[in-house]
Amino acid sequence: MRVAEYTSELGRWDEVERVSDLRLRPYVHGYFATSSALARPVRERHLPATEVPMLLNFGAAHTRVDAESVSEPQRLDHSWVTGLQTHYHLSDAIGERRFMVVRFTPLGAHLFFRLSMDSLTDRAVPLEQIDLRVASLVSDHVMVARGWAERFDAMERLIGSRVAPFAVPPNIEWAWNVLVRTSGQTPVGSLASTAGCSHRHLIQQFRTRFGLPPKKVAMLLRFNRSINAVTQCEPANSARKPYLEGSRADDDALEAHWVHIAAECGYFDQPHFIHEFKTFAGATPSAFLRGIPTPLS
């Protein structure tokens, strides 16, 4: 288990992180928790990732702003699940915060919640609206546990009890794994024939099991890889760490070679890379690195 403490002009925060048991790795990457005290309000930009996070909140409510919607900001409290996203969203943070993130894979979320994953795409849904029984199990076994380590243990036991009995068509799981392994660079057109099914069937199965069709999954995986290259940081296919709006990258990061990154991440050319990056991140790579805030109006 990794434990870290940080202090800056924004305030202080602690992080605790643990990978999942090897037997559950196809269903959940691991668990992340943080406690923080922010001295001033910050705006967080959450980028689309190939995880389905379930958040358990032990502090103040979160405010989520959908970048593609004119609806009012969404207030989230207690526990909620965010499906695969096709664009970024924003949240505002201030004061004391304590929460835990269960880092489900899309397949793991599908098996754990036992629902079609396209019902969660581009949404954050309170857990009790997804399944009251699961919400009660989480409250009774995880929320009441003492300390992050015990909560991680309780959540892992609950996941193991719900995903083990269920099988997934091996060809569909294989197709997903091929896309993940190649960071979305495998031609989607060849997946169906190699998987032994029709293209239409593959699309339907991907929507049900993961939340997005294969082509969109491939785009998301390429974007995740490009974020790694653009920011030169840890893997970006983690939904647990947002980027702070208004921060400024150092001069070295701003010297990224876009043509090289576009080729490395499987884009046809630089304009293709910049267009897809902006679709997911809401800004061009250069603007994203400079931390240009996104207006809400």
Q: In this predicted model, what pLDDT tens digit does every residue of 92-114 receive, in sequence order?
A: 877 788 999 999 999 999 999 99
For range 267-274, the mean pLDDT: 89
Lowest mean pLDDT: which of 20-34, 226-240, 260-274? 226-240
pLDDT at 54 > cutoff 60: yes
CB proximity list for 20: less than 8 A, separation 6 or greater: 27, 28, 29, 30, 31, 156, 159
Evaluate whether 70 touches 23 at the Cβ level (below 8 Å).
no
Query: For the chain, how many residues are written?
Result: 297
Q: How far is CA 204 from CA 123, 163, 180, 188, in A?
A: 19, 21, 18, 14
Amino acid at 167: A
pLDDT for residue 84 is more than 90: yes
The Cα–Cα gap between 293 and 243 comes to 11
Helix ranges, 61-187 (H): 106-113, 127-130, 132-138, 147-163, 170-181
**pLDDT of 198-255, one tens digit each?**
999 999 999 999 999 999 999 999 999 998 888 775 554 454 577 777 655 554 555 5
Bridge partners for 263 per DSSP: none
Whether 76 shows a pLDDT value over 90: the answer reads no
Query: CB within 8 A of 267, min separation 6: which ones?
Result: 222, 226, 273, 276
Q: What is the pLDDT of residue 236?
A: 45
pLDDT at res. 96: 84
Instruction: Report the C-alpha gap between 254 and 257 in whole angstroms.
Output: 9
pTM of the model: 0.89
Q: How far is CA 143 from CA 56, 59, 127, 130, in A?
A: 8, 12, 13, 17
When the pLDDT of each residue in the chain is averaged and rounded to a whole number, the result is 87
For residue 135, pLDDT beyond 90: yes
Q: Name, in order, each residue with C-beta under 8 angstroms of 146's C-beta and a sequence gap of 6 or more.
A: none
Highest mean pLDDT: which range of 25-34, 90-99, 280-289: 25-34
Supply the pLDDT for residue 71.
72
In angstroms, the CA 55 to CA 74 distance is 15
CA distance 288 to 129: 34
**Which of 60-74, 157-171, 218-232 is the least confident region?**
60-74
For residue 14, give the nearest of 26, 6, 25 by alpha carbon: 6
